[in-house]
Structure formats: structure tokens, C-alpha cells
Chains A and B, each alone.
Chain A
């Protein structure tokens, strides 16, 4: 136990010094000392609770994805059966209540319908599971229900896209180093350090930005619209609340024959030259431009509604065909709203609505205050502990204290090297680790003392001390690891930061308090050859 080859000694020192040296940039940073540029200087990241900033948890509603899929299937089925030759007539189509149902008017065509729609219901996943189940009720009523596997897959895809869209939008705001990660099946965590007022960010993320152009149903009576009754084939859409003085109420638009505004290459805020109001200029890609040209050519002199997320922005008249592939959206915007819309349209529509379910904002002063107080507490606690350990264990205590200093540096250095985040509870984790790290030395030293009392010679007593104590040290640390791992699994942000400090601390404290002190003690024993030790 007390044999250390020259090679082993060198290795132990290399590990210790490298890990400890990695702590230097983090320490100089808090002291405000600049290191020369160009050298590799990993730093411990500060969590939001120390650096200040905003944490936002966004959630998508899977039932919305389900409804979207059913509506999409509705459209596909209609198109498919329209293309069938001879065409198959269906009626009583409903996409409510979590399933698509329709009636095949000619019962003899049920099999033909089944054959036609079967390819639409195949799973896109690799499992080969079907995305839809098809049931035929009463002979000629079809019921298509999306399977849970299909919905899960669709939600996963939607969330993947949503993360990308969220990232683009936050980047457009120019905020620095945001963290955007998926959390669970239908959530996204957004963390923006330094952001104090998350309102602008939330406005931006709350906008799904689904843009549609639909024809206004001019036949609808104003009185019907007010009662919320739309003519067949049309729907009532309310105006978006804009600045004061804009249009209010609702208008009727035709369900079909519109186009989606998702095929854009650019969107910019401009000012209307006559009114000087902010507006958003959009540029379609080739396909979108062609569709828009077709819509405007076929409907000259008719009004069409520009609809964003189910609300009408404006309903201008089509004065002439718009063939250039670009258009202007006016909508009684504030400058901020126009800018948000431009960003949202550039980044693409969110495939699902995102709702804020948790939000935490921390001011910058509290964090700075916490770091300062944490460091004072750590310094005072360490000094008091060193005094105590020296008083109780003398020379052996001194080794424990040197190990303690290396331990703190190594924890900090390893955190910087693997890029983990220090949080407020993490500071407490540091202080706790300092207190707990000497436990190993206490156990060893007590054991050495006991072995001496039993009459063993110094060298043997030290050897036995390290050997017999290591069992309890091992068991105690395993239980700490179990606790810290369950904490890391359970906790979010700050709590996980604490668990990580504990885990790193457990590893480094065993290394410094057991291995390193054993090496130092062995070297001293070899050199001094004491026949009596003070313990």
C-alpha cells in the first residue's frame, strides 16, 4: 500500500496539477484579472441563477398535432378521391372528435375507396406500424383514426422543427448564447443568459406565424357574421387586435381556394410610402410565387384576407395580378409587431403552438451577491476547518489540508474542462464537499491511531490504517453517488448543477484524500523513518 513507483508518482502529480491548473482561468475571471489572449483557458460557466437571465419552458399540445393530422388527412382523402376515375362521391365529412369520418354515397365503391386511401395511411416510421386505423361502420361509413405511434412520431417531428424555428427566432433577436434544448416529448427549454425582460422573446415565440391568403366571401350578410353563422363553404375569422383605429369584428372567408404563405424566401419591415405605417414585405420562392400569381390573376377586383394564426391582419382588394413573386402585408402594425412578424415569417412557421408553462427570471445583482457571499463562506469555512483538522491530527492533518486545497482546485478545473455549469446550489455543493472530503482522512487517521494503540509499528499501522479504512470510505461514497445520481435525474437546472458538483467532488476527494495523502505520508515515512507518530 505504501509502495509508489517513480512512474506512479509522476502520473499522480501530472493528473493533479493539470486538473488544478484548469481552475486558474475561472479564478482569475472572478478576480477581474485578464489572462494573455491566445492561450487555452476553459472557464466554468455560471448558471442563470448566478449570471442572471431568463429560463422559459415551452410546451406543445399533442392534441393539436392530432387535429392537424386529421385535417391534413381530410384534405388528402378528398384530393385522392377526386382524382379517382370514375370519381367517387363522399359526403357528411367530419374531422371532429379525434377521427375523420365520411360517408361513401355508393356502397358498392367501399372497396375501391379502401384501396385508394390505403397508401395514405402507411406509416412513415421504420417500425412498419400503421399511422392510421381504418374502420368501416354500417357498411359505407369510413372512420380513420390516427394511431398513437403515428401521433408520437408526428409530435417528435414537429418538436424537432419547432426547436429549429425557435433557434432562428432567438438568433434574430441578437441575444447572446441562448441554450435551446428539447425536454421530454413535447417541451422545449430556452435559456438566455443576461436577458432581464423576456417579454419580447415570449411575444416572438408565442407567434406560430401560420400565414394564409383566403378569398373573402362577399355574399355573407353582415348580420349573419355577427351571429357567427357563415355561408356554406365559408368560415368566420376575427380581425387581429392591432393599434387603435383599425378594423374590428370578423369577416367571412372561403374555406377552399386559398393558399398558404409558407413558401417565403424573405420578409422585411418596410414603411408604407403614403401612410408611413410599418408593413412587412414578403418574397415568395418560385413555387409560392407561382401560386400567388395564380390566385391573384383569377380573382382580380375581389378582396382577399391575409390571415395570421387564425386572425385577419387585413383584407385588401386585388387590384391587378401580382406576378413578381413579392407582396406587402399591411395590418395596422406597431413597429415592434411588424418586426416580430418579419422575424417569424423569415424563420418559418412553428409546426405547433407553443405555450409558456414555466418561466424564471433572475436579476444580475442577486447572482453577483450570491457568488461573493458564497466565496466568503467558503473561505471562512475552509480556514476554520483547516484549523480544526490541524489541531486534531497534526502532521497527518496537514496532509489532509493540502489535499483539500488540491481537491477544490480540481473540482473547479474539471468543471471547466468538461464545460458544466456552476449554479447557486452548486456553490453550496462546494462547501459541503469541503466538509465531507476530510471524512476520508478522519477515517484513515483514526484507524492509524487505533492500530498504534494495538501496538503495531508505525509503518504497519499506517499501512493498516489506509487499508482498513478504505472499505468504509468506499461504501460511504457509493451511497453519496446514489443520492447525487438520483438528484441529477430528478432535478432541473440549479439542482442538477448541485448534483454535478457533488459527483465530481466525490471522485476528486477520494483521489486527493486517499491516494495523494497516502503518497505524501509514504514519502515522509521513507525519509524520516519515525519510530513514533503524533496522532
Chain B
């Protein structure tokens, strides 16, 4: 049986020739993402800004009647609802601010939830209430705080680990490509306005772990080649390393994307945003391991002197055999 080859043998694409333009594009994308996050903002869910969220599925309808719902709920006098589809078109979440004084008397927010769900059920026979979340301002503030903290600490921890295992330049490179991946993913959330909740933070943390996988494989190969080809100029050596690992990078990323696509298209709607974040992150992570993590080593002046040469037992055996011959 003939096996499928994702890239031909001895591929030698000059990736690094384009490192300048790609860096400029990436930096611009990062700036744009940050700009969007600060101007347009993330669509923060009740987990992070407090309030009440009611999830409703309209089991017999192809699409949820968003516009009528909006006016019906507004007529109840609790203020303006944020109604948003998630997953399938007939699945929606309704978000409301908690009523005045609910911080002291949780009965008030209960009453609001009851009034709204009863109203929806009365007017839409096929409405199925799938859940009600009420989060007070105090708790949501803490959740936001710990989310930001855990993202920052996780990124620093993995970068520190890379530094420990490689050299400081590699740690900086890993950290930079992490920041790049997370920033672009945040940018996607600002553009699409998909609800940003606790599970999205979990997705970003996952990303911090997984998007580094490619980077590590490339770095591992760069280190190996630095010891092996001590006279090769850096850009050439990086190109060689990226090309040598290219088939593996593609195979791994495709494996992840195959399963994630299945989850995105067929999986539960409630975690659509979560899956979307990881999928995009894997995609961006593959790119950044080639174009962000590797070239930065040139600018940080990594040379073969950064590593002490070592020779594996097998290599030595072969060399001796060659010399003997």
C-alpha cells in the first residue's frame, strides 16, 4: 500500500526568507486584535460581569424568534436583554443585569428569572429552559481576576520551563509566540462577539499548552542541528529545522483539526465558543511556531556556541566505523 505523503521528501521551502514581512503582518494583526479588544470589547458573559443568563432552546423551531423575544422581555420591565444565539440557530442565551438590590436579597433575581421564563414558556410552546445562571457582581469580579491571573501565570510558567530545558532565548521566543496566539484568539472573540465566559478561559489555557507543542518540536530540532552543523548560518539552519519537522507539524496539526472540526460541527452547542477558540488557537499556533518562534532566535543571537556539542552513542559508533573504513 502506498502511504500518503503530506509533503514530498527533501522539501526545502525557504520559510525564513519571508520572516520580515510575516513578522510585520503578525505584529499588525496583534495590534489590531488588541485595538479591537479595547475599543469594541469582549462580549463578557455573566461569569465575568455578573448578572443573569437564561438558556433557552426552541425545540420545534429552526430558528429562535429573537426579535419578538427581545420586545417581550423588555416589556416585563427588567431592562434590556442581550439575546444571542449560540451553537445552533434555535439555541439562545438571554442575559440580563441583576435587579437593583439583588446583592442583598437573592429572592429578587429569582423572581426575575421566574417571571421571564414563565413569560417565554407561555408565549412560545416549544421553548425549553435549559438553565439559569445568576452570578453576583462580587463573584464575577473574583472570577475575572483569577482568570487573568491564571492565564498570566500559566504563560510565564511554560516559558520558564522552556528556558530551563533550552536557553533563555528559546523561553523568550516561546513566550512571544504564546502571547501572539492568545492575542489573535482574543481578537477573534472581539470580532465575532462570541460570548466570553469561563470555558473560554479554559480554552485559552489549553492553547497555552497545546500551541507550544509545535514550537517545542521545532526548537528541539534547532537545538539538535545547532550541535550537528556548527558552521551553518542561522537562517539556513532554521530553514533546515523547520523543513525537517514540517511533515510532522502538518500531520499533528491536521490530527488535531480533524477531531476539533468534528466537535465544532457536530458537538454540543453550549461549548461552540470553547471549541472555536481552541481550533483557531491550534491553527495560529502552527503558524507561529514557524514564523514567530523560530526567527526570533536570529534576533536574539542564538548561535551554535549556545550549546555544548554532544555525540550520541550511535553517532559515535558510526563515526568510528566511518573513520575506521
Binding site for B on A (CB under 8 A): 49, 57, 59, 199, 202, 206, 355-363, 365-366, 369-370, 373-374, 376-378, 380-382, 384-385, 388-389, 391-394, 424-425, 427-428, 431-432, 434-436, 438-439, 442-443, 446, 450, 453, 460, 464, 471-472, 475-476, 478-484, 486-487, 489-492, 494-495, 498-499, 502, 534-535
A431 to B161, CA, bound (A): 27
Determine if B61 is an interface residue (Cβ-Cβ < 8 Å). Answer: no
A222 to B316, CA, bound (A): 104
CB contacts (< 8 Å) of A489 on chain B: these are 150
A376 to B263, CA, bound (A): 9
Which of A57, A471, A483 has the most CB atoms of chain B within a 10 A radius of its CB? A483
Among B146, B162, B245, contact of A490 (Cβ-Cβ < 8 Å): B146
A362 to B134, CA, bound (A): 12
Determine if B244 is an interface residue (Cβ-Cβ < 8 Å). Answer: yes
Residue pair A483, B3 in contact (C-beta under 8 Å)? no
Instruction: For B1, give the chain A residue with the smallest CB separation.
Output: A394
Determine if B314 is an interface residue (Cβ-Cβ < 8 Å). Answer: yes
How many residue pairs link A and B with beta carbons under 8 A? The number is 238
A389 to B110, CA, bound (A): 52
Which residues 62-78 of B sit at the A interface, judged by CB distance below 8 A?
none
A494 to B129, CA, bound (A): 20
CB contacts (< 8 Å) of A535 on chain B: these are 3
Q: Given A476-B217, A482-B154, are A392 and B258 also a contact pair (CB < 8 Å)?
A: no
CB contacts (< 8 Å) of B300 on chain A: these are none
Instruction: For B52, give the chain A residue with the smallest CB separation.
Output: A359
Instruction: For B158, give the chain A residue with the smallest CB separation.
Output: A479
Residue pair A425, B161 in contact (C-beta under 8 Å)? no
Residue pair B57, A482 in contact (C-beta under 8 Å)? no
CB contacts (< 8 Å) of A57 on chain B: these are 139
Residue pair B161, A424 in contact (C-beta under 8 Å)? no
Residue pair A492, B255 in contact (C-beta under 8 Å)? no
Instruction: For A365, give the chain B residue with the smallest CB separation.
Output: B128
Residue pair A482, B161 in contact (C-beta under 8 Å)? yes
Q: Mark B240-265, 1 if CB is under 8 A from A, else 0.
A: 00001101100110111111111101
Among B131, B212, B274, contact of A361 (Cβ-Cβ < 8 Å): B131
Residue pair A389, B133 in contact (C-beta under 8 Å)? no
Which residues 165-215 of B sit at the A interface, judged by CB distance below 8 A?
165, 198-199, 201-202, 205-210, 212-213
Residue pair A472, B252 in contact (C-beta under 8 Å)? no
Binding site for A on B (CB under 8 A): 1, 3-6, 9, 55, 57, 104, 106-107, 109-110, 128-136, 138-139, 146-147, 149-150, 153-154, 157-158, 161-162, 165, 198-199, 201-202, 205-210, 212-213, 216-217, 220, 244-245, 247-248, 251-252, 254-263, 265-271, 274-275, 278, 314
Residue pair A431, B154 in contact (C-beta under 8 Å)? no
Residue pair B266, A495 in contact (C-beta under 8 Å)? no
Residue pair A442, B251 in contact (C-beta under 8 Å)? yes
Residue pair A424, B266 in contact (C-beta under 8 Å)? no
Q: Could you name 15 residue pairs across A and B whose Cβ atoms are closer than 8 Å?
A: A59-B138, A355-B106, A358-B136, A388-B255, A428-B267, A428-B274, A428-B275, A428-B278, A431-B263, A442-B255, A446-B245, A482-B208, A486-B154, A487-B206, A492-B198
CB contacts (< 8 Å) of A376 on chain B: these are 266-267
Residue pair A363, B128 in contact (C-beta under 8 Å)? yes
Q: Given A432-B278, A439-B255, are A476 and B150 also a contact pair (CB < 8 Å)?
A: no
Among B216, B255, B257, B262, contact of A380 (Cβ-Cβ < 8 Å): B262
Residue pair A438, B128 in contact (C-beta under 8 Å)? no
Instruction: For A453, give the chain B residue with the smallest CB separation.
Output: B9
Q: Given A361-B131, A453-B9, A472-B216, are A483 and B266 also a contact pair (CB < 8 Å)?
A: no
Among B158, B216, B271, contact of A428 (Cβ-Cβ < 8 Å): B271
Residue pair A431, B260 in contact (C-beta under 8 Å)? yes
CB contacts (< 8 Å) of A362 on chain B: these are 130-131
CB contacts (< 8 Å) of A471 on chain B: these are 220
Residue pair A363, B212 in contact (C-beta under 8 Å)? no
Which of B158, B162, B213, B258 has the most CB atoms of chain A within a 10 A radius of its CB? B258
Residue pair A486, B198 in contact (C-beta under 8 Å)? no
CB contacts (< 8 Å) of B274 on chain A: these are 425, 428
A391 to B248, CA, bound (A): 14
CB contacts (< 8 Å) of A392 on chain B: these are 3-6, 251
Residue pair B132, A472 in contact (C-beta under 8 Å)? no
A498 to B263, CA, bound (A): 15
Residue pair B139, A358 in contact (C-beta under 8 Å)? yes
Q: Is the interface of B mostly helix, strand, loop or mixed?
A: helix
CB distance from B277 to the nearest CB of A (A): 11
CB contacts (< 8 Å) of B133 on chain A: these are 359-361
Residue pair A472, B259 in contact (C-beta under 8 Å)? no
Residue pair A484, B209 in contact (C-beta under 8 Å)? yes
Residue pair B132, A359 in contact (C-beta under 8 Å)? yes
Residue pair A483, B206 in contact (C-beta under 8 Å)? yes
Residue pair B4, A391 in contact (C-beta under 8 Å)? yes
CB distance from A363 to the nearest CB of B (A): 5
CB contacts (< 8 Å) of B132 on chain A: these are 359-361
Residue pair A443, B267 in contact (C-beta under 8 Å)? no
Residue pair A487, B1 in contact (C-beta under 8 Å)? no
Residue pair A425, B202 in contact (C-beta under 8 Å)? yes
CB distance from A368 to the nearest CB of B (A): 11
Q: Given A442-B248, A483-B158, are A358 and B220 also a contact pair (CB < 8 Å)?
A: no
A14 to B149, CA, bound (A): 42
A358 to B143, CA, bound (A): 11
Q: Given A442-B255, A486-B153, A490-B149, are A357 and B136 also a contact pair (CB < 8 Å)?
A: yes
A535 to B158, CA, bound (A): 33
CB contacts (< 8 Å) of A359 on chain B: these are 106, 109, 132-135
A357 to B265, CA, bound (A): 35
CB contacts (< 8 Å) of B128 on chain A: these are 363, 365
Q: Given A365-B128, A382-B259, A394-B3, are A373 and B266 also a contact pair (CB < 8 Å)?
A: yes
Q: Given A357-B138, A432-B259, are A446 and B198 also a contact pair (CB < 8 Å)?
A: no
A489 to B138, CA, bound (A): 19
CB contacts (< 8 Å) of A381 on chain B: these are 258-263
CB contacts (< 8 Å) of B271 on chain A: these are 370, 424-425, 427-428
A373 to B267, CA, bound (A): 5
A385 to B209, CA, bound (A): 21
Residue pair A366, B258 in contact (C-beta under 8 Å)? no
Q: Given A425-B199, A446-B248, A490-B147, are A431 and B267 also a contact pair (CB < 8 Å)?
A: yes
Q: Given A358-B135, A443-B248, are A483 and B208 also a contact pair (CB < 8 Å)?
A: yes
Residue pair A431, B262 in contact (C-beta under 8 Å)? yes
Residue pair B270, A370 in contact (C-beta under 8 Å)? yes
CB contacts (< 8 Å) of A483 on chain B: these are 154, 158, 205-210
Residue pair A434, B268 in contact (C-beta under 8 Å)? no
A499 to B150, CA, bound (A): 13
Residue pair A490, B201 in contact (C-beta under 8 Å)? yes
Instruction: For B199, give the chain A residue with the smallest CB separation.
Output: A425
Which of A427, A431, A492, A534 has the most CB atoms of chain B within a 10 A radius of its CB? A431
Residue pair A427, B268 in contact (C-beta under 8 Å)? yes
Which of A374, A381, A434, A535 has the most CB atoms of chain B within a 10 A radius of its CB? A381
Instruction: Name the 7 nearest CB pairs between A and B, nearest first.
Output: A483-B209, A381-B262, A490-B150, A435-B259, A366-B130, A370-B268, A381-B259
Residue pair A495, B260 in contact (C-beta under 8 Å)? no
CB distance from B24 to the nearest CB of A (A): 28
Residue pair B57, A199 in contact (C-beta under 8 Å)? no
CB distance from A50 to the nearest CB of B (A): 9
Q: With A366-B55, A381-B262, A392-B6 given, can you name 4 additional A-B contacts, CB distance below 8 Å?
A: A363-B131, A381-B263, A388-B258, A424-B271
Instruction: For B147, give the chain A residue with the smallest CB separation.
Output: A490
A376 to B132, CA, bound (A): 26
